Every structure is written in C-alpha cells, then in structure tokens.
Amino acid sequence: MSDNSQSFVRVLGRGDVLALGFGAMIGFGWIVLVGDFVSAAGSAGAALAFVIGGVIMAFVGLAYAELVAAMPHAGGEHHYAMRAIGPKGAFTASWAMILGYVSVVAFEAVAVPQTLVYLFPDMAVGRLWTVAGYDVHAGLVAVGVAAAVLMTAVNYVGIKPASVFQTIAVLFLLLTGAAMVTGAFVGGSVDNMRPLFTGGAPGMFVVLVAVPFLFVGFDVIPQSASEIRLPYRVVGTLLVLSVFCATAWYVMVMLTAGSGLGPAELADSELASADAVAAMWDSATMGNLLVLGGVAGLLTSWNAFLIGGSRLIYAMAASRMLPAWFGRLHPRFRTPSNAVLFVGALSLVSPFFGEPMLGWLVNAGGLNIVVGFVTVVVSFLVLRRREPAMERPFTVPAGVPVGVVALVLSVGLLLLYLPGMPAALSWPNEWLMVLVWWVAGAALMWRLPRITAGPDAERRLVEVMDARSRPDPRA
C-alpha cells in the first residue's frame, strides 16, 4: 500500500503523545460525577472500581498498542480492520468511531458554555427556545459557537499548534490535581471518607457503567500516528501508559474529594470535586480553580477528538470510502483541512440544542466507540493467527489470551448499552441518532466491492474504486 500519510508532518514527541491520550480521557466527569460514584460505592469503593475499569481499558489498549506500532498510519482502526477483515470491516470500525468522535466534539461545544455558567451566571441570557424541557439561551449558544470556531481554527493550521494547546491545557489540569492532593492533606479528613465501601457489587457497577465514556480517548493516539516522530515501539508503550495515567487521575479524584466532603454532601453538590476542594481549602476561589480545571479537561478532550475524527475521515477518503474532498491535505499546514472543517461544522450545530444534547451525545457516541473497540480487538486476534510473522515493534506478551480477555471485556461493555441494561440508550433521541447514522453508513458500504483482507487490501480497493470512477472508453 502506498502510504499517503507520509505527507503528514511528523512533529509529535513523547510529551505531545502522552498529553494527547491522557487529555482526551480527562473530560468533565471527574467534576460532576464524583458525588454519584461515592454515594454508590464509597470513596474507596469508587476508587477500586476505577482501578478495575482501568484494567479493562488496559487490555483493549494493549491490542491497540501492538497494532499502532505495526501499522502507524493516520486513521488507526481503519487500517487494522482493513488488513484483518477487509473493506467492510474497515468501514464498520471507522464509521462507528467517527460517530463516537464527532459526538464528543459536539458534546464539548455544549458542555463548555454550560460549565462557564457556574462562574458567570449572567451568561445565560436571551432565551431562544425550549428543547426537551430545557431553555436554550443565546448567550450560551454564542459561547459554544465561538469556542467551536476557535478549536477548529487551531486544528486547521497544524498539528503542532493543536499539540501545544493540548500540552498547556493538560498542565493546567495537572495543577488542579495538585490542588486537590494538597488540599486533602491541608483540610481533608479520613472521617469524611467513611464508610470506605458501601453498596457492594451493585454500587461498584454504577461506576463501571461510566467506564466507556470516562476512559475513551487513548484510541486517539493511533489516529495521529503519521504525525508522531518516535520509534513505533515507544508509541505503543505511551498508549498503554496514558491509560494508567488516567486511572491514577480518577482514583486520586475519588479519594481526595471523598476526604473533603462526606458522601451526603457530595451527592447534593452539582460540582462535587469543586465543592470538596473549596471545603478543604476553605476558599471559594480554590473551588473556582477546579471549575476552570474542568473547562481545561473539556478542551483537551475536544482538541484530541477533533484530531482523531478528522484523521479517521481522511483515511476513509484515501481508501475511496468517502468523497475525495475529505482526503485533501492542506498544502501549507499539512492537515486534513476539509475533514477538520467538516467535524468543526458539526460542532457548531450542537449548542443550538442546549443541555439535553449532552446525554444524547454521550450515550449514542459511547455505544459506537465500543463497537470500534470490539472490531479492533477482533482484528488483533485475526492478525495474530493469520500473520504470525508480521513485524510487531511492540509485541503484547501472551497476545492471544490477552486478546481474548480484551474481546470478552469489550463485548461486555457493549452489552451495557442494550435495552434493559444500566446504560441503555433511550428512544427516540439516542437510538434515532444511531439508526440514522448506520442507515447512511449502510448506503455507503453497499458501494464497496468484495475485496479479500490482507496487507495489500487497501491498495486493491483503491484500484477497483478508481477504475469504477473512470469513464468507459467504449462509451
């Protein structure tokens, strides 16, 4: 396969890659969901649940790590499934992940202004209309649209500016983490953490249900593989390391917030982590610092998923699965500029739907991201069996058993979204989003020819699709 991704600029180093993966996983849930988690499982129980969730994600991450080191091309999952399963498998993985990524980007465009309201209540002015019982305000829409334009512009002009932005935001996020840890020693109390465990297994299950949403993001690293200037083995190592860093972050938040306020007080708080820090430091200013940390988390996720989604759309276009317009690299900035504009344009729309859009996007996107996880793990197992001699700069020890465990765990996460399960999608809003997306996908997939999987599957697919598009000389 001729690698179009060589046209990208390789500028991302170790710190950039780690900030990309870690920042993608740390959104806003650590601010608002702590009260629910501690109430359900206790502070230590919630922390233990995140350790378990981190282990689950680490198994899936190991499969990704081996594949990204072996096939370091922009578009990650697209190339793994193409080689292992063929074009239809590649389309399934890519189409699922694109909805997941776009949903996160759109989520952030709504969540940023909704979060800033806590600091600037006067922003919620100019009622426009009502969606699902919630008022949509012109002030919040304006902030969301402005933020979407800014984030899109940063990504349009190059991966390096986007990476610098990511690193600065992650450093600020770490500053707020230091404030939480220090505050726990200054004004925290072990008495606030009691009972350490409550609710038993059902309580921990409440936390585990949130794992797909809170940990998604390490998979953004493979999307930008063509822009990383590191040995391929190191890229795989950093991917797994980012999962462990996110696990440590969530464990830290559960324990420190639990030491600042008791379970009942955390449960009654809209911004539990911020209120806990304000109590530990006896300072409203420190609580506001945590809210700004939450905004930083939103921006790091937004930036990372805009990078990931645009690169995946680019890869599909390069394989002729999407119109060639999406596969254009900017001649100066070396970014998939049209794909960036497309994802950015979608994020401009979501603020007009207001707060109800948050839940719809999380659930519909989460289901599709887990579909992508399952496809990647299947690809990992298929390639281990079919191509044992394939060069693997990062090789997972006990690869097949690890892959089987990852498959079982990822299928288990997928089941959580089905009717009757704790994270089941709602009808009509969430299921309708998923159904419309996949009906459109089925129409595009129907065009794909029958191409057997293998190392040159993408090259053969491109040749067939290009031949179809050329005019018949006999006509």
pLDDT at 33 over 50: yes
Residues 306, 155: contact at Cβ < 8 Å? yes
Q: Using CB atoms within 10 A of its CB, is residue 10 exposed (0-12), middle (13-18) or buried (19+)?
A: middle
Across 98-112, 314-328, 413-427, 452-466, least confident range = 413-427
* Element spanning 130, H or E: strand 127-131
What confidence tier does 3 reach under pLDDT thresholds 50, 70, 90? very low
* Element spanning 13, H or E: none
What confidence tier does 329 reach under pLDDT thresholds 50, 70, 90? very high
CA 348 to chain CA mean position, Å? 19
What confidence tier does 107 reach under pLDDT thresholds 50, 70, 90? confident
Average pLDDT over residues 411-421: 84
Predicted TM-score (pTM) of the model is 0.90
pLDDT, the chain, mean: 90
Kindly report the CATH number that applies to the domain delimited by 14-449: 1.20.1740.10
What confidence tier does 189 reach under pLDDT thresholds 50, 70, 90? very high
* Residue 202 CB neighbour total at 10 angstroms: 10
CA 161 to chain CA mean position, Å? 20
Selection from 48, 274, 264 nearest residue 183 by Cα: 274
What confidence tier does 473 reach under pLDDT thresholds 50, 70, 90? low
pLDDT at 1 over 50: no
Selection from 359, 349, 37 nearest residue 211 by Cα: 37
pLDDT per residue as tens digits for the range 160-182: 999 999 999 999 999 999 999 99
Rounded to whole angstroms, what are the CA distances from 193 to 34, 66, 196, 266, 274?
13, 40, 6, 11, 17
pLDDT per residue as tens digits for the range 422-450: 667 888 888 998 999 999 999 999 989 99
Selection from 348, 309, 315 nearest residue 98 by Cα: 309
- Alpha carbon distance 396, 81 (integer Å): 18
| Whole-angstrom Cα Rg for the chain | 22
pLDDT per residue as tens digits for the range 110-124: 888 888 888 898 998
- Alpha carbon distance 373, 162 (integer Å): 25
- Alpha carbon distance 12, 302 (integer Å): 18
- Alpha carbon distance 278, 297 (integer Å): 19
Selection from 419, 377, 352 nearest residue 106 by Cα: 352
What confidence tier does 472 reach under pLDDT thresholds 50, 70, 90? low
Angle at 64 between CA 327 and CA 447, to 5 degrees: 40
- Alpha carbon distance 40, 23 (integer Å): 26
Residue 274: both structure tokens together: 């911020």
Residue 203: per-residue pLDDT: 84
Residue 475: per-residue pLDDT: 53
- Alpha carbon distance 119, 275 (integer Å): 13
Across 75-84, 351-360, 372-381, least confident range = 351-360
Average pLDDT over residues 90-111: 90
- Considering all CA atoms of the chain, what is the largest pairwise distance in Å, rounded to the nearest integer? 84
Residue 270 φ/ψ, nearest 5 degrees: -75, -35
3-state secondary structure of 203: helix
